[in-house]
Amino acid sequence: MDPSQLRNMSNRLAPSDSAGALAIARTIKDGWYACQALAWVARYAPAPQFSKIIQESLSVVRGEVDPYLVVAPAAWPIRAIVERNRPEMLPSIIPDLLVRAEDIKLFASRSEALFLIFQAVFPAGSEHWRPVLESLRQASMPLINWRQRRNLLDTIMIVRGEDEALALEIMNSVDDPKLKKKIERTWATSEPGLPRPFFWTTGA
């Protein structure tokens, strides 16, 4: 069974069989999928086990050579922390990830990783998502890839739902005329955006 299949199996078990899901997650050799699976286990685990499993989830990718493979999958344990209402854990995790993100050489990949972290932490409140937003904005300069443009637009629409003035400030700072017009059209025709879900209880 390949790593993605093992992750999916663990994820399906996590809400109802924490021990079984954890046993499967620990067999996954690929860091990305192991991190995700362990985060799912943590999200639904009994409270006394939560912190230990979160740390295990983060540790399986911490040693990756490619910084993208450290930062991007960490979105899953971060969202588990948020959904379990443990925001006091975030200040010991987020800053290190933002530093590591600076080592992602491709701006498109850096934007992708930071956008995942931004969406994961967003429900925790602006105290926690604003530093990620600043790093994401820096990863959007210069705008040289369609993924940066997409992520910036989506970020603005998500921020709009909580801080419209800040979202307008970001939109007005965009110096790419084509993207700015697209953002303005989206703003005029769409409701504020929502961050992606990371966990659900109907399967993987």
* Residue 201 is assigned to a structural domain of this protein: no
* Alpha carbons 14 and 83: distance in angstroms, whole number: 15
Residue from 84, 27, 29, 28 nearest 54 by CA: 84
Half-sphere exposure of 151 (CA within 13 A, CB side): 28
- Tell me what pLDDT residue 96 has: 97
* Residue 130 is assigned to a structural domain of this protein: yes
* Alpha carbons 62 and 35: distance in angstroms, whole number: 10
Q: What are phi and psi of 140, to 5 degrees?
A: -100, 10
Q: Is there a single domain that holds both residue 35 and residue 80? A: no
pLDDT confidence bin for 204, thresholds 50/70/90:
very low
Among 46, 62, 78, identify where a domain stops.
Answer: 62
Q: Is there a single domain that holds both residue 27 and residue 95? A: no
DSSP 37-102: HHHHHHHHS-HHHHHHHHHHHHHHHHT-SSTHHHHGGGHHHHHHHHHTT-GGGGGGTHHHHHHHHT
pLDDT confidence bin for 80, thresholds 50/70/90:
very high
Among 32, 62, 92, identify where a domain stops.
Answer: 62
Q: Is there a single domain that holds both residue 36 and residue 114? A: no
Q: Is there a single domain that holds both residue 47 and residue 94? A: no
pLDDT confidence bin for 27, thresholds 50/70/90:
very high
* Residue 87 is assigned to a structural domain of this protein: yes
- Tell me what pLDDT residue 1 has: 85
> What domain range is 156 assigned to?
65-196
For 133, residues 6+ apart whose C-beta sits below 8 A from its C-beta are 118, 155, 159
Indicate if the pLDDT at residue 162 is higher than 90: yes
* Alpha carbons 140 and 120: distance in angstroms, whole number: 19
Which whole number is the average pLDDT over 136-161? 96
| Token pair belonging to 187 | 């703003």
Number of domains in the chain: 2
Which amino acid does the sequence have at 56? E
Q: Is there a single domain that holds both residue 49 and residue 123? A: no
Q: Is there a single domain that holds both residue 3 and residue 23? A: yes
| Token pair belonging to 28 | 């996954």
Q: Is there a single domain that holds both residue 69 and residue 93? A: yes
DSSP 8-state secondary structure symbol assigned to residue 172: H
The answer to whether residues 128 and 87 touch, using CB atoms and an 8 Å cutoff, is: yes
